[in-house]
Structure 1
């Protein structure tokens, strides 16, 4: 189904892979990109991959969407998990690309039912592990 504001379609694989991450925890993260007027899966992070591998998979000069399944321990020593949606839009990416990603984000995010937090980052420091921990706990 095309996104009304940007004309962007969402590939079915995006929803399938997100459900696998959410329900079966088959992936640690998913990176999505816009390609030929469609949002597609670019990379699946294995369950053994951590936050450093996730951030390294985001290109320095191009926008992306991503979801990350963040595991943490509460002060009560309970294991928890929260799913973050990250809108990556580096300052060095092209203006047109930033506009397309910004206009498609809300509609795409609604397709992924189960997201608990959202981060928007233009620089790696805006999505540091400390920021993610602070939002999750």
Structure 2
């Protein structure tokens, strides 16, 4: 009986709950469906070299910020990360192993520069794990506060 009253009061007092907002109750951040669709294209069809995601603090939603063409380089990718704002990104890294085998690994990169706003860093940090779970197929993760922490040498070292 108490549970029924509790459920009824929840549904009437708080208005309508959106499924997306409920899904990430820790931070209240929703994930736009386009994020998952573009990631699947990167993973399955290799239509993109990288995807940069932005957390819209007003809408409390993660959206696609930039798509990198397959021919773009790692330098092109790092150049599109803003120096004073946080971002999430995935990068499809191609490499050749010591055994001369062509391989690819998908990196998840949490970009949180020291110069970004504290509120932004907190929102990105509290939403990261849940967002990562939405992108099924990530193999490696990097967290960077400075470009040197995600240099090509570091990426290569992690991939091998």
TM-score range, shorter chain: over 0.9
- Aligned partners of 2:85 and 2:26: how far apart in 1? 21
TM-score under structure 1 normalisation?
0.99
Q: Report the counterpart of residue 72 of structure 1 in structure 2.
A: 95
- Aligned partners of 2:104 and 2:125: how far apart in 1? 27
Structure 1 or 2: larger helix share?
Answer: 2
Q: Report the counterpart of residue 93 of structure 1 in structure 2.
A: 116
Question: Runs of 4 or more off by more than 6 Å in structure 1?
Answer: none
- Aligned partners of 1:75 and 1:100: how far apart in 2? 40
- SS across alignment from 2:131: helix
Q: Report the counterpart of residue 132 of structure 1 in structure 2.
A: 155
Q: Report the counterpart of residue 69 of structure 2 in structure 1.
A: 46
**Cα deviation, residue 13, structure 1:** 0.1
Q: Report the counterpart of residue 85 of structure 2 in structure 1.
A: 62
Structure 1 or 2: larger strand share?
Answer: 1
Which of the two has higher C-alpha Rg?
Answer: 2
- SS across alignment from 2:54: strand
Q: Report the counterpart of residue 25 of structure 1 in structure 2.
A: 46
TM-score under structure 2 normalisation?
0.85
Q: Report the counterpart of residue 4 of structure 2 in structure 1.
A: none
**Cα deviation, residue 84, structure 1:** 0.1
Q: Which has the higher contact order (CA 8 A, sep 6+)?
A: 1
**Cα deviation, residue 47, structure 1:** 0.3
Number of residue-to-residue matches in the alignment: 137
Flag structure 2 segments of 5+ consecutive residues without an equivalent. 1-19
RMSD between superposed Cα atoms in Å: 0.4
